[in-house]
Structure 1
Amino acid sequence: MKMSLFINPEHRPGDSMPERLQDHVEQVRVARQLGFDGVSIGSHLNYGNEVWFPALETLMRLAPEAEGMSLSTCMLVLPLYHPLHVAAQLALVDAACGGRAILGVSPGWQEDEFRIMGLEHKARISRFVESVDLIKRLFTENGVTFNGRHFTVEDLTLALKPVRKPRPPFWFGGSVEKAVARAARLADTSLGDSWVASSHLTKDVIVEQASVFRNTLSDLGKDMPGDFPLLRNVVVAPDKETAIRDAGPFLEASYRVFGQWGLFTDVVGSGKQQLDFDELLAGRVVIGAPEECAEQFADLAEATGCTRFITRIQWLGMDQKLVLRTLELLGDRVLPML
């Protein structure tokens, strides 16, 4: 079982940004020493009441501390950007980590982000698919000509090619069955492409969606990817009561923001704008003492067939000492049990 550290790029605007960035540097340094083999980062646009560190730029800062580790986005909201820009930035990240970059992308769901960028929210899926197709070609071909609904290029060559050949893998996000099936269609699993389940979904939903991914791949004559990651919220402490007491306020604060954005009404489909704390924990968080968390991880691996856990261990305003406690217990106690 492989383990990646998820970098939480969401911070309070009153915080010292140099200190928060240095916190992430320390997290990666510790994770590497503990045997984690990957670093992942999410993304949203930087506006409103929370600071969001840009994903690919942050990975570049973390690369020197992540020697030998993969660097991935999980996920970049791809339709918000021009594919040439993303392809060039990812190629640079791939150079910085010696050919271990992974481009995790999703169509996005938050309408405000598309409105701010002057883009049509309803067109995000077609824009997403075109972007994926164009980036794949820019990575592997010269003189690309592409005529789509959203993007048109003629005889275009990406001069800054990735180190990994023929190209870096893609991870595709998707929180509904239709999106999971689309990920299976887009994925070339022989090159390491995969689908990654959202951390916002409960275990039962993820198990169902993993079956959709596996069955769709089979119908298409594709094998399961060798590296099949699962993104999970994780809190490890000496006991479950301590974990809930220490991490609960920060987890609630982050999900309150997501709830205001429409996560639970528009994506998860709970019918409520905000969930009670017990509802947040139920099936969404691996939490407790090391032995309890190892058991939950093993159960998830058996139920889904995943081979990698991407561990989100930090939320809005969370103290670095709590982040490092979970990180160290994961590496020293939980990972050996897996």
Structure 2
Amino acid sequence: MVGVGLLLSDAPRSVPPEQQFQDILRIVGEAEQNGFDHIAIGQHFLYGDLRWLQPVPLLARLAAHVGPDTRLVTQIMIGPLYHPVMLAEEIATLDIVTEGRLIFGVGVGYKSDEFDNLGVPFSERGSRLNEMLELMPRLWTEDVVSHHGTHWDLDGVEPHLRPVQRPHPPIWVGAHAMAGVRRAGRFADGYAVPPGTPPAEVARRYRVVRDLFAERGKPFGPQPLRRNIMIADSKEAAVSEYARVAQSRYISYAQRGHELYDAEKMREEFAESIKGHVVLGNPDDVVAELTELVTTLPVSPLLVRPQWPTMDAEETVAVIRRMGRDLLPSILPLPARSEIPEHLGAPAEEAGAGR
């Protein structure tokens, strides 16, 4: 069956961190009551006027707050900012604390100032993550590890932490660029698709991942996919509400260096600019579009974001309850498919180069 996950949000620094945490506990509780079976949180550092609670300690705390069938997801951590030994031990510990319910989502990051502030060359983020994804599974599974790579050297170290899940927690790689898609195919267990990716492009990317899985002897199955969603009584109301809660965030993405967004267009032509980046409309519209998506493509879990920094906990709870009433009862019973439809998207050979 198709899983459905909730993506937790950052919050304005004007909200006290203690209140942010209490709001998260309430939001997560509402999410479980309304049928969500994955809870995910991303990561940023020194984020200006917004605040992220860091995913490892937060998910460790949430492990005691959610039920035994709820998966906890780092979606995503900025891998190249870490030493691989440190991150491997953090993730192994988190898998132990969550009693084997962890999914480790990781990516290269896109904000150069985070790398500058932490003394990591931004230009090396891809090669660093590749090397980490080669090394970390060894640190989770081998008794003695020697590694001599481009960025790190280990000589006969003896790892002392192993995760609960064997051989290790599922690894998802999130990426916009095709280089990241190939990284997922080469090193990971899943490719976490960004929210604005059109279905034909999803299929094209899935073929790249599937073929690289095959080279490793790994079966291809349903993949995690993000979609931003807004349900209202009409499409016009949904567009208006999405602009109210999300427009400033899209502008911020553009100003912070996200290559997919143009700040000026987001200011002047928001409704036009978000076409393809969000599923919105009345309940029938949203259910129909998402049903078409998950019955056409091998998707599970479907990851949705109910909250933006402009929204308080009351507004977020109302959105979660509406999703629980109007959306999830139609999506959760659907069987998750494993095949990529041959008619959809370009052949994998045509996939272009990325960073």
Query: Above 0.5 in TM-score?
Result: yes
| 1:29 and 2:29 matched | yes
User: Contact (CA 8 Å) 1:180, 1:213: kept in 2 or not?
Assistant: yes
Tell me: CA distance 1:272–1:220, structure 2 relative to 1, closer, same or farther (3 Å): farther
| 1:329 and 2:311 matched | no
Compare 282-291 and 75-84 and name the one that shifted more. 282-291
User: Contact (CA 8 Å) 2:196, 2:276: kept in 1 or not?
Assistant: no
In the other structure, the counterpart of 2:298 is: 305
Q: Which runs of 5+ in 2 are unaligned?
A: 332-355
User: Contact (CA 8 Å) 1:211, 1:304: kept in 2 or not?
Assistant: no
In the other structure, the counterpart of 1:137 is: 138
What code does the residue aligned with 2:318 have?
Answer: R
User: Contact (CA 8 Å) 1:99, 1:168: kept in 2 or not?
Assistant: yes
What code does the residue aligned with 1:169 have?
Answer: P
| 1:195 and 2:196 matched | no
Q: Aligned partners of 1:251, 1:212: CA distance in 2, in Å?
A: 32
User: Contact (CA 8 Å) 1:290, 1:329: kept in 2 or not?
Assistant: no
| 1:86 and 2:87 matched | yes
What code does the residue aligned with 1:299 have?
Answer: E
Q: Aligned partners of 1:108, 1:154: CA distance in 2, in Å?
A: 29
Tell me: CA distance 1:204–1:38, structure 2 relative to 1, closer, same or farther (3 Å): same
Tell me: CA distance 1:127–1:183, structure 2 relative to 1, closer, same or farther (3 Å): same
Structure 1 residue 201, shift from structure 2 partner:
3.8
In the other structure, the counterpart of 1:213 is: 209
Q: Aligned partners of 1:215, 1:314: CA distance in 2, in Å?
A: 35
Structure 1 residue 178, shift from structure 2 partner:
2.6
In the other structure, the counterpart of 2:350 is: none
Structure 1 residue 66, shift from structure 2 partner:
1.7
Compare 215-224 and 44-53 and name the one that shifted more. 215-224
Deviation per CA, 1:234-260: give whole Å up to 9, x if none.
222343333333332221121111110
In the other structure, the counterpart of 2:307 is: 314
What code does the residue aligned with 1:7 have?
Answer: L
Q: How many residues align?
A: 327
Tell me: CA distance 1:322–1:289, structure 2 relative to 1, closer, same or farther (3 Å): farther
Structure 1 residue 302, shift from structure 2 partner:
3.5
| 1:257 and 2:252 matched | yes
User: Contact (CA 8 Å) 1:233, 1:284: kept in 2 or not?
Assistant: yes
Tell me: CA distance 1:124–1:230, structure 2 relative to 1, closer, same or farther (3 Å): same
In the other structure, the counterpart of 1:243 is: 238
Superposed CA RMSD: 2.1
Q: Aligned partners of 1:251, 1:274: CA distance in 2, in Å?
A: 14
Deviation per CA, 1:298-333: give whole Å up to 9, x if none.
122234321220111111221222222221222233
What code does the residue aligned with 1:315 have?
Answer: W
Deviation per CA, 1:113-171: give whole Å up to 9, x if none.
11111111111111001111221111111221111111112222332321111211100
Q: Which runs of 5+ in 1 are unaligned?
A: 188-192
Tell me: CA distance 1:11–1:274, structure 2 relative to 1, closer, same or farther (3 Å): farther
In the other structure, the counterpart of 2:127 is: 126
In the other structure, the counterpart of 1:58 is: 58
User: Contact (CA 8 Å) 2:246, 2:308: kept in 1 or not?
Assistant: yes
What code does the residue aligned with 1:6 have?
Answer: L
In the other structure, the counterpart of 1:224 is: 220
Structure 1 residue 175, shift from structure 2 partner:
0.8
Q: Aligned partners of 1:215, 1:54: CA distance in 2, in Å?
A: 34
Tell me: CA distance 1:239–1:24, structure 2 relative to 1, closer, same or farther (3 Å): farther
Deviation per CA, 1:99-126: give whole Å up to 9, x if none.
0101101111221111111111111111
Compare 243-252 and 253-262 and name the one that shifted more. 243-252
In the other structure, the counterpart of 2:182 is: 181
Deviation per CA, 1:48-91: give whole Å up to 9, x if none.
22212212122122222222211111111100111222222222
Structure 1 residue 230, shift from structure 2 partner:
0.3
- Compute the TM-score of the two structures, normalised by the length of structure 2: 0.85
Greater RCO, 1 or 2 (C-alpha within 8 Å, sep 6+):
2
Q: Aligned partners of 1:307, 1:34: CA distance in 2, in Å?
A: 18
Q: Secondary structure at the match of 1:4?
A: strand
Tell me: CA distance 1:164–1:222, structure 2 relative to 1, closer, same or farther (3 Å): closer
Structure 1 residue 13, shift from structure 2 partner:
1.4
User: Contact (CA 8 Å) 2:246, 2:310: kept in 1 or not?
Assistant: no
What code does the residue aligned with 1:163 have?
Answer: V
User: Contact (CA 8 Å) 2:251, 2:263: kept in 1 or not?
Assistant: no
Q: Secondary structure at the match of 1:307?
A: strand
Q: Aligned partners of 1:33, 1:39: CA distance in 2, in Å?
A: 13
User: Contact (CA 8 Å) 1:210, 1:304: kept in 2 or not?
Assistant: no
User: Contact (CA 8 Å) 2:6, 2:303: kept in 1 or not?
Assistant: yes
- Compute the TM-score of the two structures, normalised by the length of structure 1: 0.89
Tell me: CA distance 1:163–1:216, structure 2 relative to 1, closer, same or farther (3 Å): closer
Q: Give the fraction of aligned pairs with identical amino acids, expressed as a percent.
A: 29
